[in-house]
Structure formats: structure tokens, C-alpha cells
Amino acid sequence: MSRVLCRAVFTLRIKVPLACNMSAYLIDDPKYAFLKDLGLEKKNIGVFNGKWEANGRVIQSISPANGKVIAEVQAGSLSDYEGCASAAQDAWHSWAELPAPARGEIVRQIGDALREKLQPLGQLVSLEMGKILPEAIGEVVEYVHVCDLALGLSRSLPGTVFPSERPGHILIEKWNPLGAIGIITAFNFPVAVFGWNSAIAMVCGDTSVWKPSETTPLVAVAVTKIVEGVLKKNDLPGAVAALCVGGKEIGQQLVKDPRMKLVSFTGSTAVGHQVGVEVQTRFGRHLLELGGNNAIVVNEDANLELLLSAALFACAGTAGQRCTTTRRMLIHKKVYSEVVSKLAKSFAGVVNKIGDPLLSETLIGPLHTPAAVEAYKKTVAEAVKQGGKIEFGGKVIEREGYFVEPTIITGLPHDSPLVKSECFAPIVYCIEIPDLETGIKYNNEVDQGLSSSLFTENLGNVFKWIGPHGSDCGIVNVNIPTNGAEVGGAFGGEKATGGGRECGSDSWKAYMRRSTVTINYSGAIKLAQNIKFGDE
Ligand code: NAD
């Protein structure tokens, strides 16, 4: 029964059960039959420690596109978390003894299992998180790509041999797994972020406990069922990849737990700061992937056609809910007016393509929660109060679900607190710059340091941008948007973005411990630096 109809029923004072939506979960609607292809039911267990068992509260998973309940997930209690952590630690002993290429083979099979479920899993991401289907499928593809990357890594994990200064000695750098690790993820990449961590951690020989966002529990259950299927087929303990759905209380427990040798945390800077301090207090290891405040610098020599097609997706795509979404456009004064008016025009062109993220004609889906809509409204109102001008958008869209207009704001100072903070919604501030040097300065003046992009046709500018006095971000792009990274490179950012790196390059090092080994095969003791200690 629709909300409008429910309201009408109450106005007429006809006696109907109070909970209008109780029986009408979306999972019962044949339109969402893909949920059953993923093994999901109306009531799901959100804890997996080798067995599915949960004793915590029941979470209703809501679709942001219509505010309706998709299905329920029973979260974990603190003692369920305890069960996950000890099972993951037990599973580690056998998992770590498997040769890395054998672990890679398991990850390869997970990649294949994901390929088989690409469509339904993508549809679920779209339904539960709210991003459009091509992006949601892209997110699953990203996990598949990380599995491919991890498979290669499983046969090439390096270890170095160094020359020793002592005759008959050898110096080896040996990498070993850490043990059990904790993975805490944000709502906006409910598959990929787990995949980035899990696939690499698995080939490195670690087991994991995953605490997903409490607003995307169905995705977490579906992904874990896929991984469980592969582990089971290979007679491996399920707790190699344990899951504990829950809120902040489960996250806090995991962060404090000394059995979690690494806590990989993806989420807001405010929470990540607490997590980092807590993990450091127990001398654990942390990998922080936190908020961004990403800028595109548009130089006077930019190819504007290229820029405009990139900027639309960068600013408005995913309804502004990527950590790498462009939040600031720093535009050279010579092209400022042209860029702002053309950007507003291209925003106008997508407004009629805002809607149900599962439909093929949709380009922009909803915000994830009513709280996100409130944050959007508050930010727009505050910007106007401070003298900002809304060049486009600024309004909540009156329809079921949590939809807002992509928004362009001009007229705020580059260093206003609003411009310097991350509002996780499709709001971009356009700021005029007199020259590239100022653009770089403004790019770097925010606390966050995730992604950045320069549009220029000049090679000298490119090298300035990527050099020591260029962008201070972890991701430094040229002539592409700030969002949409590939798995081969290391992903992450500096400063208040946390400094962590995941995925490609040498990010695997975060999931392993390093031993420097010196082996003496000379038959005589010889000290380094030629130190004589009681020698004749
Ligand atoms: P959030 O910080 O609210 O929550 C993230 C996770 O932390 C959730 O699983 C949540 O339950 C858990 N959590 C909350 N309080 C906790 C605590 N005290 N201890 C331990 N865990 C706790 O973030 P969100 O709203 O889900 O995600 C949006 C944010 O994530 C944005 O700031 C975005 O930029 C950032 N993000 C960053 C990256 C990156 O790679 N840098 C990627 C995706 C999202």
C-alpha cells in the first residue's frame, strides 16, 4: 500500500492495521525477483561465522528510491561479534598455511561466482544503496577486477634479498600474513570497498570480520553468501570471511579488539578519526579511507568540451555520493562565466533523468537516507544565508523516495567553512581563480586530500600539477574527472582523508607484516659495522 494511500486510509478513520507496510515488503513483489536469486528472504540472518546465526536487533532495509522496506536483516549482538572474531582467528591458522597461489585460486573462484551474479547483485546495490544500475554493476565488476589483480598477486607476492655487508650472511625481507583483520565499510560502495579489502587480504593470508554499513545489510548478506559458496565448495572454514551486520556498537567493539590486527575503515572523517585514535591506542594497525573534498581545476587552456562532459558525472553522478565526487570547481577567470553557464545547462539536461535507479533511462538516483536529504537542505540554506547564489537546483524533489536536484552554487569565498567541508550530496561550489597557481593553492587548502583533477592542454602545467608543489591529494588526475578510479593503482588520500591506500600497487603491504631476516651460513659470528666485541 502506498504511503499516500495509507495517509488517506487514516484520514477516513477506517480501522486497518497500523503498520501499513508490514506485509508488503519489496522482496514479495515479482518485480524484485532478483533478490531471491541471491538467496535473500524476507527475514535474513546478518551474522556469519561459518554458520548463519544472529541475536541482535532486526534492521529493516529501506529502498531510498521509494522509502519502502525491501526485507529484514537480523543484526549481530556483541556476543555474536565475539563469535565472529574468534571463528575468524581460528580459521586463520589453516588459511595462512595454504600456499599463496592456492589462496589465489579461491579468490579466482570468488571472482567467477561474482561474474555469475553480476546482474542480480548489481540490481540489489541499486535498490538498496540507490545508485543507478550501470554504476551498481560497475561496482560488482570492480570487485571482480580486484579478484583478478589478487590472483596475479598470489603468484608474485615479493620478498627481497639484500646484499649483506658480512661474509657468509644473507639478508631477506620476508612477508607474512597479519592474522584476522576487521573491515568496516561505508554505505556508498557496499560491494567494492569490501572487495578491495577482502580479495587482497585473502591472498595475503588474512581472514576477516566484515562490519558493513547498517543501511546496506542485504548487500552484505548477499556478498557473503557468494563467498561462503566458494569456501564451502573447497572445504574451507566459512569464517575466513566472517560477517557481523550491526551499527556503531559492533564497529566500536571491532576497533577495540586486539585480535583484529588491522582495522580497515572506510567512512567519514569524523568517525575515522575516532577509529584511528582507538586503534593506535592499542598499537594496532589501521588503514583509513575517509572523506574527500575534491576539486577540478579548470585552467584557461582547458578543452571545455572535455571538461563539461567529465564534470556532469563528477559533480552530479551517483547523486554526489562518491567519496571522489567533485565538490569544488576552481575555474580560471577567462572561462569562468562560460563554464558556469554551460554546466548549469548540462545539469538542467539531466533533471528529467532523476528517478528510479533501476530504470535504464535514469542517470541520477536518490540520496541514501532522509538524513542525507536534511543535510542537503541545511547546506543549501546556509550557503544562501552566507551570500551564495544558486545557479542551478537547490530543491528537494517532491516525490516518493529521497530525491534532490543537483546543485551549483557560486559567490562563496574559496575558504568559507561550508566550501571546505564535505556535504555528501550533489552540491558543487564554483570559484573563480586568477591563475593556475591560485587554483593549486585553493585545491590544497582544505583538510581533506582525496582526489583532484586539472583540465589543461599544456604539458608544463601537467608536470607542475603532479610535482612537489602541485596537488597534495592521493589521486591527481589530468583531463578526467575526480571520480572513477581503476583497481591497478593504489586508492586513497592524504591529510584528513586518512592516508590509507587500498587495492592496487603495493597496497597489499598493509595486510602483511614484514620481517627482516639475517641468516648466517659462514660458521662464524661477525658483527655488523665491523664491531669488535671481545675479539682478538
Ligand atoms: P560513516 O562514517 O557514517 O560510517 C561508516 C561505517 O562506520 C559504517 O559501517 C558505520 O556503521 C561505522 N561506524 C559508525 N560509527 C562508528 C564507530 N564509532 N566506530 C566504528 N565504526 C563506526 O560513513 P558513511 O555515511 O557510511 O559513508 C560516507 C562517508 O564515507 C563519506 O565521508 C565518504 O567520503 C566516505 N567514503 C570514503 C571512501 C574512501 O575511499 N576514501 C570511500 C567511500 C566512502
User: Cell 522496506 belongs to which residue?
Assistant: 69
Rg (CA), the chain: 25
- pLDDT 10s digits, 299-314: 999 999 999 999 999 9
208 lines ligand 1 (CB under 6 A): no
pLDDT confidence band for 1 (50 / 70 / 90): very low
Instruction: Give the model's pLDDT for residue 531.
Output: 95
- pLDDT 10s digits, 411-460: 999 999 999 999 999 999 999 999 999 999 999 999 999 999 999 999 99
Distance 186 CA to ligand 1 centre (A): 4
- pLDDT 10s digits, 120-158: 999 999 999 999 999 999 999 999 999 999 999 999 999
The atom number, within ligand 1, closest to the CA of 189 reads 43
Distance 271 CA to ligand 1 centre (A): 7
- pLDDT 10s digits, 33-67: 999 999 999 999 999 999 999 999 999 999 999 99
483 lines ligand 1 (CB under 6 A): no
288 lines ligand 1 (CB under 6 A): no
Instruction: Give the model's pLDDT for residue 278.
Output: 98
Among protein residues, the one whose CA lies closest to atom 40 of ligand 1 = 289
Residue 14 clears pLDDT 90, i.e. is over it: no
Q: What is the mean pLDDT of residues 472-488?
A: 96
- pLDDT 10s digits, 158-179: 999 999 999 999 999 999 999 9
Mean pLDDT computed over every residue of the chain = 95
Strand partners, 427: 407
Residue 73 clears pLDDT 90, i.e. is over it: yes
For the whole model, what pTM was predicted? 0.95
The atom number, within ligand 1, closest to the CA of 424 reads 31
Instruction: Give the model's pLDDT for residue 535.
Output: 67
Distance 267 CA to ligand 1 centre (A): 2
139 lines ligand 1 (CB under 6 A): no
Distance 487 CA to ligand 1 centre (A): 21
Among protein residues, the one whose CA lies closest to atom 39 of ligand 1 = 289
Instruction: Give the model's pLDDT for residue 13.
Output: 32
The atom number, within ligand 1, closest to the CA of 491 reads 40
pLDDT confidence band for 8 (50 / 70 / 90): very low
Residue 6 clears pLDDT 80, i.e. is over it: no
187 lines ligand 1 (CB under 6 A): yes
**Any idea how long the chain is?**
536
Distance 115 CA to ligand 1 centre (A): 27
450 lines ligand 1 (CB under 6 A): yes
- pLDDT 10s digits, 178-225: 999 999 999 999 999 999 999 999 999 999 999 999 999 999 999 999
Q: What is the mean pLDDT of residues 240-268?
A: 98
Is the separation of the CB atoms in 32 and 26 below 8 Å?
yes
The CA-based dihedral angle spanning residues 139, 140, 145, 148, taken in that order and rounded to the nearest 10 degrees? 160
Instruction: Give the model's pLDDT for residue 534.
Output: 85
What amino acid positions are annotated as catalytic residues?
289
Q: What is the mean pLDDT of residues 70-99?
A: 98
Q: What is the mean pLDDT of residues 276-295?
A: 98
Instruction: Give the model's pLDDT for residue 10.
Output: 33
Element (DSSP H or E) covering residue 515: strand 512-520
Instruction: Give the model's pLDDT for residue 9.
Output: 33
Residues 6+ apart with CB under 8 A from 495: 447, 448, 449, 472
The atom number, within ligand 1, closest to the CA of 274 reads 18
pLDDT confidence band for 5 (50 / 70 / 90): very low
Whole-number Å distance between alpha carbons of 198 and 95: 14
Exposure pattern of 306-333 as b/e (b: 16+ CB <10 Å)?
ebbebbbbbbbbbbbbbbbbbbbbbbbe
The atom number, within ligand 1, closest to the CA of 289 reads 41
